[in-house]
Structure 1
Amino acid sequence: MMVELAWVALALALLPLGMCLVNMALYRAPPLRTVPNAAVSILIPARNEESSIAGAVLAALAQPGVELEVIVLDDHSTDNTAAIVRGLAARDPRVRLAAAPPLPPGWSGKQHACHVLGTLARHPVLLFQDADVRLEPNALGRMVAYLRDSGAGLVSGFPRQVTGTLGEALVIPMIHVLLLGYLPMLGMRFSAHPGFGAACGQLMLVDRDAYAEAGGHAAIRTSLHDGVTLPRAFRRAGHRTDLFDATGLARCRMYQGFGQVWAGFSKNATEGMATPAALPVWTVLLFGGHVLPWLLLALSPGWVPALAAGVGVALRLLLAVRYHQSLVGALLHPVGVLVMLAIQWTALVRSAFGRPSVWRGRAYPTSPLPGSDG
């Protein structure tokens, strides 16, 4: 029995490594060129972002060769977010501050904020960006070139994920494990099926006309996971979506501390992995390929479980080196997998008992409301 399990574990470990090697050849940075006379509206929803909003706006304003406006929507902040943006707007006319109207029933906060921002934008290309994202020089022009070259209605990239604590380093890099190890990018590029849609909610660039045809953020009004639901809405409307490597174009510290990591990954779990049908499959893939080899190696040492364990860590180290992630988190990869699965199973149980997700002081239902795309 141990021998058979070891071979299964090896197969489950080799699957994401093989997929990752193929995907890394497709998941590339945008070209080192820009589109002349590009005009972009940078749209930033902000709710209690006084510690990060100035950095986001100043990095956006520093983008050369692009006609741009930066619109920040103050989403009922109780800190100094609005005052900070007001001061930036007084010094640079490209900055506008808007106040969010009351949150309507049936909307999540971020989707409503992005919807309002979309109505305020003036330019034909829209960049929806989180307040904790920092664009690097020339990033915006390169992203516009990628949007035009790809022929897609929506393109998105995962910024370099900055981590400052062990809890962050264990879990946040799992985003790249899931993306590159389990999403067949050949399918994303050559199939219009909505199931191949994927994006990073931190950084999404869209063609305004395609955005309108897809229903915009109104199409995903109840969603807490726009990185999954918005590209699927575009694909259902007949528009392609694509991904690029944004490691060198932007950086983001998504969460600060393990408490925020747990809450942040929990809030959108039931629109991703944590469904009754999907989570058992994900558990087999992740536990079987990344944790089981270590258990078998401890119980019955041999070259097969040792190879399987090594393959899993090699995958994580490869991603850590390529995408500038924590090496400590990579070496503790099985622990990160266990934490990720614990978050997902906790979210699924919470959903089963009807307990709402809570994020930034707002509580949301555990299943999509009528009219949602999520």
Structure 2
Amino acid sequence: MSPAMHAIEGKARHRAEMALTALAVFPLVLGLLNLRALSRAPRRAPSGDEGVSVLIPARNEAGQIKEALAAIIANGPIVREIIVLDDHSSDDTVARIREVRNERIRIVSGEDLPSGWCGKSHACAQLARQARHGWLLFLDADVRLAPDAVARLMAGTEDQETIAFISGVPHQETRSFLEWLLLPFINVLLFGYLPLPLDQGRSSGLAAACGQLVLVKAQAYHAAGGHEAIGWRLHDGLALARSLRQHGFRTRLIDATDLAHCRMYRNAGEVYAGLMKNAVEGLAGPVALPVWTTLLAGGHILPFLLRASPLMKVARAASLALRLLVALRCRQGVLTVLFSPLGTLLLLWIQFHARLRHMTGRPVTWKGRLYET
């Protein structure tokens, strides 16, 4: 090869390394800015005395519903009622609920799932119709609240200009290999790629939420159409936040690491199926998939595969620094940092798998139900 060709090849390689370094450094910079923007709920009681209806959709949750109810009851009188919808459980969910003797608990039997609805959204819509208080706290059955969580969430709605909706990602308990390898990406994507400093709580394009933990003002919820307006969506929390913003209400995302904890999935099969379920509405959309592939593969996989040039060393350090930043803030283990390139690769594999299933018309399965994505 001639010297001229060597020079051209060297310049092309340098430009490629510059691009990959930028893809690794940008989310680290944004993550540092988001440390302040993604704040935690204030450690104080709310100034008002409005009550909260806690609403729990439950389908085959016999193994954990009692712990969830005990944690809610520990939040005291600010929780005026706890409504659990039994969504056609085939286990002892109802019997376990009845063992928790508390006058605030009500059990509702779920209606049959209509065509075109997601099971959880349908359950939440029924729960909202039963609620009698000014604020609705939608809570997954695997979430365990801290004793002051509800009061702090209510105080968080007063922290800024009137907030009608507040949500956060609980601390994710991860024990099996795929849990600690993949579930921390929930927080990585929030800290590294959501421009929270630009968000004033109104733009639907910047809305973010976690369906595991959602507190919403009942009046705003019903004005925006509630879960009926998003009944087919699998990303119910995000869809609800966007719906409220489209109707003129402000929403807020917080870091809920110290408010609640949750073990979302309990084995590798559940992790894979759960991420597949949400993929097409998330990273695996027809436009989103090539964009996220460029961002994640370019910033967090390729720098570890290419030769260790000075630029690639910077890119590797930036990628690991972002993961360490999120791990420290969200109480994640060090293994998820060390194995982050592998985790990123597997996450993208799941997105492409979900995209392929969608293109071939194959439904996703969750809790015994089939969903056309």
TM range (shorter): over 0.9
Deviations 1:28-53 (A, max 9, x none): 11111112423100000000011111
Cα offset, 1:65, TM superposition: 4.9
Partner of 1:331: 338
Instruction: Give the TM-score, by structure 1 length.
Output: 0.94
Cα offset, 1:5, TM superposition: 1.9
Match of 1:105, SS state, is coil
Instruction: Answer yes or no: is the 8 Å Cα contact 1:147–1:205 preserved in 2.
Output: no
Q: 1:261 is matched by which residue type in structure 2?
A: V
> Do structure 1's residue 128 and structure 2's residue 138 form an aligned pair?
yes
> Do structure 1's residue 110 and structure 2's residue 120 form an aligned pair?
yes
Q: Which whole-Å CA distance do the structure 1 matches of 2:50 and 2:41 have between them?
A: 15
Partner of 1:154: 165
Partner of 1:239: 249
Q: Which whole-Å CA distance do the structure 1 matches of 2:282 and 2:73 have between them?
A: 34
> Do structure 1's residue 272 and structure 2's residue 311 form an aligned pair?
no
Q: Which whole-Å CA distance do the structure 1 matches of 2:83 and 2:326 have between them?
A: 34
Provide the identity percentage: 47
Q: Which whole-Å CA distance do the structure 2 matches of 1:45 and 1:235 have between them?
A: 24
Partner of 2:57: 45
Instruction: Answer yes or no: is the 8 Å Cα contact 1:38–1:67 preserved in 2.
Output: no
Range with greater deviation from structure 2 (76-85 or 140-149): 140-149
Instruction: Answer yes or no: is the 8 Å Cα contact 1:228–1:272 preserved in 2.
Output: no
Deviations 1:329-360 (A, max 9, x none): 11100111111101111101110011111110
Q: Which whole-Å CA distance do the structure 1 matches of 2:82 and 2:13 have between them?
A: 59
Match of 1:257 among 267, 277, 294: 267
Structure 2 gap ranges (5+): 1-11
Range with greater deviation from structure 2 (94-103 or 61-70): 61-70
Cα offset, 1:228, TM superposition: 2.0
Partner of 2:297: 287
Q: 1:178 is matched by which residue type in structure 2?
A: L
Q: Which whole-Å CA distance do the structure 1 matches of 2:200 and 2:327 have between them?
A: 25
Instruction: Answer yes or no: is the 8 Å Cα contact 2:276–2:354 preserved in 1.
Output: yes
Question: Structure 1 residues 155, 3: CA separation in 2 closer, same or farther (over 3 Å shift)?
Answer: same
Match of 1:245, SS state, is strand
Deviations 1:58-78 (A, max 9, x none): 100000351421111000000
Q: Which whole-Å CA distance do the structure 1 matches of 2:286 and 2:198 have between them?
A: 24
Match of 2:284, SS state, is coil
In the TM superposition, structure 1's runs of 4+ consecutive aligned residues that sit over 4 Å from their partners are none
Match of 1:321 among 321, 328, 332: 328
Match of 1:101 among 83, 107, 111: 111
Instruction: Answer yes or no: is the 8 Å Cα contact 1:37–1:67 preserved in 2.
Output: no
Partner of 1:371: none
Matches within 5 A, 1:301-316: 301-316=308-323
Match of 2:231 among 221, 226, 231: 221
Q: Which whole-Å CA distance do the structure 1 matches of 2:44 and 2:257 have between them?
A: 17
Partner of 1:353: 360
Q: Which whole-Å CA distance do the structure 2 matches of 1:357 and 1:11 have between them?
A: 36
Match of 1:8 among 15, 19, 27: 19
Match of 1:211 among 206, 216, 221: 221
Deviations 1:241-263 (A, max 9, x none): 11111111100011112211110
Cα offset, 1:196, TM superposition: 0.8
Partner of 2:200: 189
Match of 2:52, SS state, is strand
Instruction: Answer yes or no: is the 8 Å Cα contact 2:79–2:150 preserved in 1.
Output: no
Q: Which whole-Å CA distance do the structure 2 matches of 1:127 and 1:324 have between them?
A: 24
Match of 1:92, SS state, is coil
Instruction: Answer yes or no: is the 8 Å Cα contact 2:73–2:79 preserved in 1.
Output: no
Please tell me the root mean square deviation across aligned C-alpha atoms, in Å.
1.1
Partner of 1:369: none
Q: Which whole-Å CA distance do the structure 1 matches of 2:79 and 2:208 have between them?
A: 28
Structure 1 gap ranges (5+): 367-374
